[in-house]
Amino acid sequence: MTEKGQPLAYSNIGIGATAKEELLRFLQKKCWKHPVIVCDRNTYEAAGRVLADELKAGGVKAAKLIIPEHEAGAAAADERTLFYTLINIAEETDVIIAAGSGTIHDITRFAAYQRGLPFISFPTAPSVDGFTSAGAPLILNGTKTTIQTKAPIALFADTNLLKDAPRSMTAAGFGDMLGKITSLADWEISRRLADEPYSEAGAKLVKDALWQCIDHRADIAAGTETGIQILMEALIVSGLVMLALDHSRPASGGEHHISHWIEMEMLKTKQPPILHGAKVGCACAVLSDIYKELACHEKLAELPPNFREAIQSAYEGLPDGKTIAGWLTSAGGPACFDEIGVKKDLVCDALNHAHTLRDRYTGLTIINEHAALFAHHLLQ
Ligand SMILES: [Zn+2]
């Protein structure tokens, strides 16, 4: 169940060429007559306008709310934007539609929660697995803070529009999915060594979704209908598993902690933001090599046998960083931090500190907790 008892039912999810019509029928079924479409300038042109036209043709007149860009050239989910959004949602509004990528969704999620309104997700790029999430990562007082808000009541993803999303966004979605290589391995570790909650079924769903993406990377790179459909479905499965379990372990391990650390440092120094999935993909390639090295490290013998067994079984068989980088490149995305302008010092810093961001056990935690054995050698 999502916030305030509204379930995100599987029947309220549509991915395909008729998503706009499905959204219209959903509004009609719910008797909602005053939707507002929240978007930014780009996503209004790419998707908001055609959606509004479709709704209008079906007798539903939607208001539009275009979120202003910040100096850096993109909308940001910070106090200024959130306040702007809240005061610009008209009194008669009965449902909010997020037409955009991750940030537009986070702004909408927060506004919907504050105003006690349902919201519908209408993603414009297959860029991230967080569309269905209840948590909104916001920038509060210059720091990234995730607060619990609400999940969408429905999601309609139009593959005709998603096909035309910028290639960097699609590649970022693929990067966010590849991150599951290390997050699933870390989840196995947290289950075996820290007794953290685990779900066999959840792990299998996310793993299958991950491998669908790897197997269809050429289609994803080419932006074919099949490729986009597979990537979007994978991202949604990952999001739904997190929603069902009420934690993000299947989809967020050490690679996400590294990405968050880097993001926060770049925010502090006012550097332009990098797409979430781009950072996650690069982090996954780096971390996979570190984990593989850990799994065959000679000092592993000095840890208790259950540690040794768990580490070897979770990490030994991971694909190496070069293979992961190759997959990222084949989908048209960046494959190493150098390519996205993240300095080596910052990556090193993240490897040594990112495990402190969350109270969650990962391979990064193990390496840093046994710094005398591994850290100096592995985390450079
Ligand atoms: Zn992610």
Residue 7 three-state SS: coil
User: What is residue 7's predicted lDDT score, i.e. its pLDDT?
Assistant: 59
CA of 101 to the centre of ligand 1 (A): 13
User: What is residue 5's predicted lDDT score, i.e. its pLDDT?
Assistant: 43
User: What is residue 6's predicted lDDT score, i.e. its pLDDT?
Assistant: 54
Close Cβ partners of 268 (under 8 Å, ≥ 6 residues apart): 142
User: Which amino acid makes up residue 70?
Assistant: H
Q: Which residues are bridge partners to 40 per DSSP?
A: 67
**pLDDT by residue (tens digit) across 91-140?**
999 999 999 989 999 999 999 999 999 999 999 999 999 999 998 999 89
**pLDDT by residue (tens digit) across 236-276?**
999 999 999 999 999 999 999 999 999 999 988 888 889 99
CA of 138 to the centre of ligand 1 (A): 15
CA of 170 to the centre of ligand 1 (A): 13
CA of 208 to the centre of ligand 1 (A): 17
Tokens matching residue 99: 């037409």
Domain extent listing, the chain: 3-162, 167-378
CA of 45 to the centre of ligand 1 (A): 26
Tell me the C-alpha distance between 230 and 214, whole Å. Answer: 10
Radius of gyration, CA atoms only, the chain: 21
CA of 219 to the centre of ligand 1 (A): 21
User: What is residue 143's predicted lDDT score, i.e. its pLDDT?
Assistant: 83
The string of DSSP codes covering 129-156 is S-TT-SEEEEEETTEEEEEE----SEEE
C-alpha pair distances (Å), 293 with each of 189, 269, 309, 318? 16, 33, 15, 11
CA of 261 to the centre of ligand 1 (A): 13
CA of 90 to the centre of ligand 1 (A): 32
**What is the bridge-based pairing of β-strands 135-140 and 143-148?**
antiparallel
User: What is residue 1's predicted lDDT score, i.e. its pLDDT?
Assistant: 42
CB distance 284 to 178 below 8 Å: yes
CA of 325 to the centre of ligand 1 (A): 17
Q: 116 burial class (0-12, 13-18, 19+ CB within 10 angstroms)?
A: exposed
CATH of domain 167-378: 1.20.1090.10
Tokens matching residue 321: 């960083």
User: What is residue 4's predicted lDDT score, i.e. its pLDDT?
Assistant: 43
CATH classification of 3-162, choosing from 3.40.50.1970, 3.40.50.300, 3.40.1160.10, 3.40.50.2300? 3.40.50.1970
CA of 59 to the centre of ligand 1 (A): 37
Mean pLDDT by 10 residues, the chain (380 residues): 55 93 97 97 95 97 94 84 97 98 95 97 96 91 88 96 95 98 98 96 98 97 95 96 93 96 90 94 98 94 94 97 97 95 95 90 94 76
User: What is residue 51's predicted lDDT score, i.e. its pLDDT?
Assistant: 98
CA of 323 to the centre of ligand 1 (A): 20
User: What is residue 371's predicted lDDT score, i.e. its pLDDT?
Assistant: 85
User: What is residue 2's predicted lDDT score, i.e. its pLDDT?
Assistant: 43
CA of 176 to the centre of ligand 1 (A): 5
